[in-house]
Amino acid sequence: MQRRSFLHTGGSAGLLLTSLGASPLALAQSRTDSVRVLAEGTPNSRDPHGEGVSRESLGTFTNVYDRLIQFERTRLPSGVYRYDHTRFRGELAESWDSSADGRVLTFKLRRDAQFHDGTPVTAEAVKWSLDRAVSLPASKRQLATGSLTQPSQFTVLDPHTLRITLERADRYTLPNLALTFASVLNAELVRKHATAADPWGTEWVKNNAAGGGAYQIESWTPGQQIVYARFDKWKSGALPQIRRAVFQVVPAAATRSAALQRGDADIALQLPPREIDTLVEQGKVFATLIPVTNTFRFVAFNTRAKPFDDVRVRQAVAYALPYTNLFRGASLGHGAALFGGPGGEPRQAHFPQPYPYDTQLQKARQLLAEAGLAQGFKTSFSYSVGDATISEPAALLIQEALAKVGIEISIEKVPAAQWGTLQTEKKLPFFIDTSSAWFNEPDYFFRIFFQGDWRWNFGSFDNAELARLLEQARWETSKPKYDALIKRAIQIAWRELPILPLWLPTFELASAPDLKDFTYYIHGQVDFRTLVRGNAGKT
C-alpha cells in the first residue's frame, strides 16, 4: 500500500533547528542541497563492526563508509526505492569476477578513491578492514552467514586487487559484502589509535569515524544531533545532490510531525500509525507505506533464565496475549498479523508466517499450573525508549493481559543507547522489539534469529535438531527438499517459542513533497546519497 499527499513547504527552514541547537553552518545551507531528518532514536556508535549498535547507527555507517559493492535498487510505484539483496553494483570495486566453481572472487578497486583525510584506498586497507570485521564479534557473526570467517581468506594481489577465497560457493557472500558489516575503514588512521589491549582500535572508532564514504561527520552531539557534510572527493558513485544533512533526535512524535508540516524538517522517521493516518487524511505531506516481509514485531523470552527456560511458561504467555488489541491498539492495524495461524504442518515454506496461537486464557492458566506456577509469577518487561511509539502502548496492553493469568510484570524503559548492549549481554528476561533479516530467505532468517551466541538470537535459543536442519537447508539446491527442511524448522519454532512474532509492520515514511528518491533498507534509516530535490540535478 502506498499513500501520498502534498504540502507547500514555505517559510523559514531554520526555526526548528534554531530551537534544537543546530550549528550555524548547517542553518546557512540552501534548502536545495540540504536535508533535515527527525527521528525518535539515536546513533550510539561510529564503528560499523562494533557491538550493541543502535538501528540509527546503521544509517551513519551507510553514509560515512564505503564497501566493496552495494545493493542495486528497485523503484516502487510510489516513487521511492527498495534495496534488492540479489543484485549488486560496484562501490569501491569497479569490477569483480568469480571462478567457475564460485570459490574465488577477485575485486578490482577504483584507483582514485580516498578516505576523508586524503589517504588513498588500497587493497591492503580493504583487507585490513575485512580482517577486522571477521575478528570482532558482531560483524564476524554476520559475515559468517556468507562464509566470510577468517583473515586468511583475504589476499592482496596488488595495490588495487583483492582476492577472497571460500571453502565452497555461498549464495550469501556477495550480499554480506554489501552490508555495513563489511565497511572499509582507514587502516592507517585506526592503527594510530590501537593499543596492545585493543589492537583493532574499537574504543577510538566507537567515537570517531574513519571512513571514506560520501559524507563526513561535521559534528556529533550525543543523543541530540549529527551534522553530515558531503565529501566532495568521493568517487564511489555519482556525487550526491545533498551537500549537508542534519539528523536530529526529537522524541515526541507530535513534534516531529508538526515540524514536517511546517516545513522545518524534510523527513520524519518512526511516526506512529495514528500520526501517519492523520497526515494522510489532512493531505499535508508525502506519505509512503511500504509493506515489508522480512521485518517483524515480536516479544522475546530469555530461554536460559527462569521461568522462561520452561517452554510451558512461554506457551502460557503466548495464549494470554491480547493479539487483536495489540495489533489494532499499538499499530492501528498497519501491517499483517502473525497470530491466529492454523497450526499443524505449515502450508508454505516461508517465514515469518502466522503462528498457531490466539488468546485462550484458560489454556494459559493450565500451562502455568503444569509448570508449577499456578499462582503466577513476577518478572520485568522491557522496551527501548527509542521504540516507544509502538512499544509503550503495547507494553501496557501486555501488562494488563498477563495480570489476568497471574503474571505480574513491571515495565522497564531502557535508554536507546543501552538497548543493544543489554540484548547482546542477554540481560533482558522478557521484552518487545522489532527486527529484520537483511535477506528475505527463510533459512537465513532462522540462522539469524534462532541460533548463535549473539544479539540477534533474541531468545538465547539452542536446539540441535534445528541447527542440523538449517545447515542442510543452507546448501540445498532442490526446492522440494529445501521446503521440507524449512517446514520442519517452522514447527520447531512454533512449539519452542524463543520469540513470538506479533505482526509484520509496514515501513512508513513521511517527507517533504519536493524530496525524491528515498531508498528503503531494513534499518529504516536515510541514505542521503540518493536523495534529490524536485528536478534539480546532482552537482
- Per-position DSSP letters for 504-525, written without gaps between them: E-EEEEEE-TTEE--EE-TT--
Q: How far is CA 493 from the centre of its chain?
A: 22
Q: How confident is the model at residue 258 (pLDDT cuts 50, 70, 90)?
A: very high
Residues 157-188 have pLDDT tens digits of: 999 999 999 999 999 999 999 999 999 999 99
Give the rounded percent of residues in the chain with a pLDDT score beyond 90: 79
- 4: pLDDT strictly greater than 60: no
- Report the phi/psi class of residue 290: left, alpha or beta, with left for phi > 0 and alpha for psi in -120 to 50: beta
> What does DSSP say about strands 154-158 and 161-165: parallel, antiparallel, or unpaired?
antiparallel
Q: Give the integer Cα–Cα distance in Å for 143 and 467.
A: 18
Q: What is the pLDDT of residue 405?
A: 98
CA 488, 494, 495, 496 dihedral sign is positive
Distance, in Å, from the CA atom of 250 to the CA atom of 252, rounded to the nearest integer, reads 6
DSSP annotation string for 407-461: EEEEEEEE-HHHHHHHHHTT--SEEEEEEE-SS--HHHHHHHHSSSSSTT-TT--
Q: Measuring CA to CA, how many Å separate 454 from each of 142, 309, 399, 424, 492?
A: 9, 18, 28, 6, 20
What b/e readout covers 78-113, taking b as 16+ CB neighbours within 10 angstroms? bebbbbebeebebbbbbebeeeeeebebbbbbbeeb
Tell me the C-alpha distance between 371 and 374, whole Å. 8
The pTM of the full predicted model, rounded to 2 decimals, is: 0.83
Give 491: exposed, middle or buried? Use CB within 10 Å, 0-12, 13-18, 19+. middle
Cell of 52: 550493541
506-511 and 267-268: which strand pairing? Answer: antiparallel
Number of CB atoms found within 10 A of residue 204's CB: 18
List beta partners, residue 221: 225
First CA to last CA distance, the chain: 33
Q: How confident is the model at residue 444 (pLDDT cuts 50, 70, 90)?
A: very high
The domains located in the chain, with CATH, are: 15-269+507-533 (3.40.190.10), 295-504 (3.10.105.10)
pLDDT digits (tens, 9 = 90+) for 103-148: 999 999 999 999 999 999 999 999 999 999 999 999 999 999 999 9
Question: Which pLDDT tens digit goes with each residue over 358-381?
Answer: 999 999 999 999 999 999 999 999
Count of beta carbons in the 10 Å neighbourhood of residue 55: 26
